Chain A
């Protein structure tokens, strides 16, 4: 059907082309703003001499009602079908005149705005002759450009009223909930067996030291029980087709091997003979092959780890409700959605590649990451919330925290500052120091970055309870060969003293890095990634929520490191933006898109590779096809084409050439 529509549109443009251009030129005085520098009468006289110009006038204020009326009258009386107004910028009044001609039944893209104020009169005030000469050229260029302007259709695209949220962490939950509250059906896809993400692993949240589990459970429960939210756990995205407003997504759901009638009694786990380190607990405790990640996990249904399971069938026999079924198969589900929100979060940086810190090496069990410390401190931990050395289970007498592990480090390729490490390190240091006043807690930092409300206070409060801050990045963690104790070598750069800090426990504040598997997901979604590996936002300032592709939005740490408050705000913004076209039911798009001349096209596919919103597909015959809805009208495909087959409407090589001749003319033409 889409193909049929395309053909109709092409024929329409061709018919519009055959009409002879009748151009009306209007030069604005803008009070003295333009007329004070540029000889407007001369410009209008010159314009009158140009081919196809039916009418050329100058007037005091073109944007005023009589000015706009002049434009309208010229259309009505003289049959002008293309207008050129030489006044201010396109952003300021371009739309005023475009609207005016649209009211007279002429496509608004047939208006050409020439900026002789910002680009000419205001910046060349001192040289009237040169400014007038330049204005002549600019107006001629505008007329040349107007001559070949074509109609651009505004098309209404109906949208599928449903959304897909990828990732069930705080960002995903927040946006899924917000979307559902707007009455939009949501498919929530989570890779793990439970929703909640990293937030459930934390012990306390800064700066108020609240319990994260308590903060997130209303949301996890709400999402799991929301009638409009369909939750898929153990699931991943297999394929994504379509664009803005209408996506078709294949979701692969791996079985839990436990049916929904599970009462979560835990008998199976209790009798399971297999024990493996718990991923959710960051390896700080063990779980069975059939397990629930943590007591409050949602969905509460148990899950079987097929890889770890030895298929002894104990659980099948012991289950009081016969919920366990090893014969379950993975299933693929295809859903149709209008918007996609990517909220896959982050991974904690794995410091093993920083050799001098010996993380994860034998004999260095007491070098842990902050997330492991969080797990140790949490109420459900194996150590009963005590901080104990993993090597011998003793209370550490001195703890050293190292900041900027994996962030602000060119050697590992991460230049960025994660921005939250200072905050969580200070929070944990303060908690530990308050628990054990006799324990020395030291933070080795490069810079302490605690911007924002309440964070500087947190920093101060940590200093007050006696946390020691040393400015310097540790060069190495060494192990004393005789005593076997760890020492952190660091230079205090404020007092210029080299130090060796005794450390019973070393905690690395590891950076937030893009999550595992983001590469394949990114390529399935056809969105661009930043050089750090996070998904790239549309514009860092003006639209940090939209991805490179229309209809795909980013929520939370997948766009870049964020703390929980920022993530929640970002997710809310993503939900609102994703909901807008779905609530309205349609998207209006101006079809300012390239057309491909298949007689010239050689099917090389270069345009496809250069297209950043992935709006060019290759069809079954190997020919490139422009997806008119996904296209962002940047025109980058144009110069990439070796045969000039692809041309952006109203910005074609031909049209630009006309403008270039007028603008660059005036000098000596090279023979």
Chain B
């Protein structure tokens, strides 16, 4: 950390891009609703459209982190409302396992997260994005970025 930076600035500078896999249904829907309602969130959030969060595997998550993403998140439909039945639950289990893996490797488990949102409510998506950044901020303050760990 250079001397001229406050801790906040230091963290903010290190949150440049967060890859968010959003499902084609509620995930994309809520992000669209948020956009239409002109809500605002951090420009670091970058959305990739997938059919279902169940489609996002460890490969995709690791590729994103390896290519410079500061964190990865999956946003799916609410529990019980997955348009493909249980894709969100499967993804949740997968992310849980990945968090475990991250911990075992000595990283913070906040670099990868799973969220849900509701297509009709843009707030849910924005809330998810804010939460990603909050968690990542705390994680970076505690243990540093994922790149620091390499």
Contact of B60 among A90, A124, A540, A653 (CB under 8 A): A653
**Selected contact of A639 from candidates B16, B32, B47, B59, CB within 8 Å:** B59
Q: Which residues of A contact B35 (CB under 8 A)?
A: 89, 115, 117-119, 122-123
Are A137 and B46 in touch, CB under 8 angstroms? yes
Binds A, one of B81-89, B103-111, B136-144: B81-89
A132's closest neighbor in chain B, by CB?
A: B43
Q: Is the CB of B40 within 8 A of A635?
A: no
Q: Is A130 among interface residues, defined by CB-CB distance under 8 A?
A: yes
User: Within residues 13 to 53 of chain B, which ones have a CB less than 8 A from any CB in chain A?
Assistant: 16-17, 19, 28-29, 31-32, 34-36, 38-41, 43, 46-52
Which residues from B are CB-within-8-Å of A666? 16-17, 68
B37 to chain A, nearest CB (A): 9
Cβ-neighbour of B28 out of A90, A137, A539, A541 (below 8 A): A90
- Count of CB-CB pairs between chains A and B under 8 Å: 157
How many residues of chain A get a CB closer than 8 Å to chain B's CBs?
A: 57
On whether A660 and B67 interact (CB within 8 A), knowing A632-B84, A653-B59, the answer reads: yes
- Of all chain B residues, the one with the shortest Cβ separation from A548 is B85
**What residues of B have a CB within 8 angstroms of the CB of A528 in the complex?**
85-86
Distance of A127 Cα from B45 Cα, bound (Å):
13
From the candidates B19, B32, B50, B59, name the one contacting A663 in the complex (CB within 8 A). Answer: B19
In the assembled complex, the CB of A122 is this many whole angstroms from the nearest CB of chain B, namely: 4
> B87 near A665 (CB under 8 angstroms)?
no
Given known contacts A122-B35, A651-B50, is B67 in contact with A639 (CB within 8 Å)?
A: no
Residues B57-96 near A (CB distance < 8 A): 57-60, 63-70, 80-81, 83-87, 90, 94
Q: How far is the CA of A91 from the CA of B49 in the complex (A)?
A: 12
Q: Does A494 contact B (CB under 8 A)?
A: no
- Known pairs A639-B56, A664-B69; A633 contacts B51 (CB<8 A): yes
Which residues from B are CB-within-8-Å of A667? 16-17, 68-70, 147
Q: Check A123 against B41 for contact (C-beta < 8 Å).
A: yes
Contact between B40 and A125 (Cβ–Cβ < 8 Å)? Answer: yes
Q: A89-B28, A539-B81, A651-B51 are in contact. Are A122 and B60 (CB under 8 A)?
A: no
Instruction: Give the distance in Å from the alpha carbon of A288 to the alpha carbon of B70 in the complex.
Output: 76
Taking the complex as formed, is A310 at the interface, i.e. its CB lies under 8 A from any CB of chain B? no
Is A126 on the interface with B (CB-CB < 8 A)? yes
Say whether A90 contacts B49, CB under 8 Å: yes
Given contacts A122-B36, A651-B55, A670-B147, contact A659 B48 (CB under 8 A): yes
Which of B39, B66, B83, B85 touches A123 (beta carbons < 8 Å)?
B39
Q: Of residues B19, B35, B47, B80, which shows the largest number of chain A Cβ atoms within 10 Å of its Cβ?
A: B35
In contact, A663 and B64 (Cβ under 8 angstroms): yes
A120 to chain B, nearest CB (A): 8
In the complex, chain B residues whose CB is within 8 Å of the CB of A671: 150
Given the contacts A89-B28, A636-B90, A660 and B51 also touching, CB distance less than 8 Å: no
Contacts A134-B46, A539-B81; is A118 near B31 (CB within 8 Å)? yes
B residues 103-147 near A (Cβ < 8 Å) are 146-147
- Among A125, A651, A664, A668, the residue within 8 A (CB) of B64 is A664
Q: Is the CB of A660 within 8 A of B49?
A: no
Whether the pair B69, A118 counts as a contact (CB closer than 8 A) is no
Q: Which residues of A contact B63 (CB under 8 A)?
A: 657, 660-661, 664
Residues in A neighbouring B17, C-beta threshold 8 A: 137, 663-664, 666-667
Contact B85 A670 (CB under 8 A): no
Across-interface contacts of B59 in A (CB, < 8 A): 639, 644, 653
Distance in Å: Cβ of B126 to nearest Cβ of chain A: 8
The residue of chain B having its C-beta at the shortest distance from the C-beta of A539 within the complex is B83
- Bound together, the chains give a CA A663 to CA B59 distance in angstroms of 15
- Given that A118-B36, A122-B36, A141-B48 are contacting pairs, would A660 and B86 also be in contact in the complex, using a CB cutoff of 8 Å? no
Question: Does A383 belong to the interface (CB within 8 Å)?
Answer: no
- What 0/1 readout, one digit per residue, does chain A (616-643) give for beta carbons within 8 Å of chain B? 0000000000000000111110111000
- A610 touches B (CB below 8 Å): yes
- A119-B47, A666-B17 given as contacts; is B55 within 8 A of A639 (CB)? yes
Instruction: Verify if A648 is at the interface (C-beta below 8 Å from B).
Output: yes
**Which residues in chain A, 432-475, are within 8 Å of chain B measured between CB atoms?**
none
Q: Which residue of A lies closest to B72 (CB)?
A: A664
The minimal Cβ–Cβ distance linking B7 to chain A, given in whole angstroms, is 20
In the bound complex, do residue B60 and residue A118 qualify as a contact, i.e. CB atoms below 8 Å apart?
Answer: no
Contact at A134–B51, with CB atoms within 8 Å? no
Residue of B nearest to A667 (CB): B68
In the complex, A612 has a CB within 8 A of chain B:
yes
B68 with A638: CB separation less than 8 A? no
The reply to whether A124 and B67 contact each other, CB–CB distance below 8 Å, is: no
Output the least CB separation between B64 and chain A (Å). Answer: 5
Say yes or no: A127 contacts B46, CB within 8 Å. no
Residue from B34, B57, B146 within 8 A of A638 (CB atoms): B57
A138 on the B face (CB < 8 A): yes
Cα of A120 to Cα of B39 in the assembled complex, Å: 11
Once bound together, how far apart are the Cα atoms of A499 and B42, in whole Å?
Answer: 60
The closest CB in chain A to the CB of B125 belongs to A123
- What residues of chain B lie closer than 8 Å to A122, measured between beta carbons? 35-36, 38
Contact A131 B150, CB 8 Å, known A118-B34, A123-B35, A635-B51: no
Q: How far is the CB of B95 from chain A (nearest CB, A)?
A: 11
Contacts of B49 in A (CB 8 A): 90
Tell me which of A130, A634, A665 has the highest count of chain B C-beta atoms within 10 A of its own C-beta: A634
Question: Which residues in A have their C-beta under 8 angstroms from that of B55?
Answer: 634-636, 638-639, 648, 651
Most A CB within 10 A of own CB, among B34, B46, B63, B86? B46
Q: How far is the CA of A90 from the CA of B29 in the complex (A)?
A: 10
Chain A, residues 538-566, CB within 8 Å of chain B (1/0): the string is 11110000001000000000000000000
Q: List 18 A-B contacts (CB under 8 A).
A: A118-B35, A123-B38, A126-B40, A127-B43, A528-B85, A612-B84, A638-B55, A639-B55, A639-B60, A640-B57, A653-B60, A657-B63, A660-B69, A664-B63, A666-B17, A667-B69, A669-B67, A671-B150
Extra contacts besides A118-B36, A541-B81, A668-B147 (15): CB < 8 Å: A89-B32, A91-B28, A115-B32, A118-B35, A120-B43, A122-B38, A134-B43, A138-B46, A540-B81, A634-B51, A634-B55, A657-B63, A660-B19, A663-B17, A665-B67
